[in-house]
Structure 1
């Protein structure tokens, strides 16, 4: 597999781990000094950093602290991957959309009589792009910096 495809696959593994709420798998994609940031903006203003954590252990802890209710899930779609490789260093920028699924209860619970197939609702919940820096370590690409850049303003609760 080419380096470009391996780099894009890192992002594919990242979003699938998010969908499965597998914080350990997300953290494993980062280099030991890897940094994760969440940024947001309104309109064309500059991005403001809302959350920053460094190191796989802290990234895993952040992912485990998620507040998405059990009856909700997210599906992440990435596109327009721009990859620039310089030896063992690379930069990738990819657009993303996130669709949230919401269902009240589990299969069969509180469903109207005669309901079949899928229940619940889907809503576009996030849009933006991922700005990532990667390094090849021991033959595999790892994230050294991963910025989630939301194209919507964001309110972040104060740290506890």
Structure 2
């Protein structure tokens, strides 16, 4: 697998694990010193550095699974710049979160951008810094 494929897989595993609420898998992608930072309209900025802090952050913000509620992220517009000599890469992409709850139609709950810095550690790509910048948060449609 080449670097481009490995980085794309890392980004997709991040979102897949997030949607499955697999906090341990997401946190492991940051290693000992990677930082996850998030800004979402209506909420204070949040961040955690290292797998332990990232795990604690995600446990606080990812909703507990409940019957009749599902959230899924869709990623698009990946731009990947790799510096093979330095063993680093930068990635930009867009994401949209779709949710559905019992009695509520599927809707876009919010969308935003990801700005990632990656590093190669022992042949494996991991996040050194991931900024998730929410552009807008959308309330669910009212039932009428």
Query: Common fold, TM-score beyond 0.5?
Result: yes
User: Rg bigger for which structure?
Assistant: 1
Q: RMSD across aligned C-alpha pairs, in angstroms?
A: 2.2
Say if 1:100 and 1:124, in contact at 8 Å, map to a contact too: yes
Partner of 2:37: 37
Give the TM-score normalised by structure 2.
Answer: 0.84
| Offset of residue 123 of structure 1 | 1.2
Is 1:121 matched up with 2:90?
no
Partner of 1:18: 18
Give structure 2 stretches of 5+ with no counterpart: 138-144
* Aligned-partner SS, 1:152: strand
Moved over 6 A (4+): none
> Which one has more relative contact order, counting CA pairs under 8 Å at least 6 apart?
1
Between structures 1 and 2, the one with greater helix share: 2
Give structure 1 stretches of 5+ with no counterpart: 43-47, 105-119, 154-160
Counterpart-to-counterpart distance in 2, 1:138 and 1:74: 33
Q: What do the CA deviations read for 1:48-81 (whole angstroms, capped 9, x no partner)?
A: 9711111111111111223525232211110111
Give the TM-score normalised by structure 1.
Answer: 0.76
Q: How many residues align?
A: 134
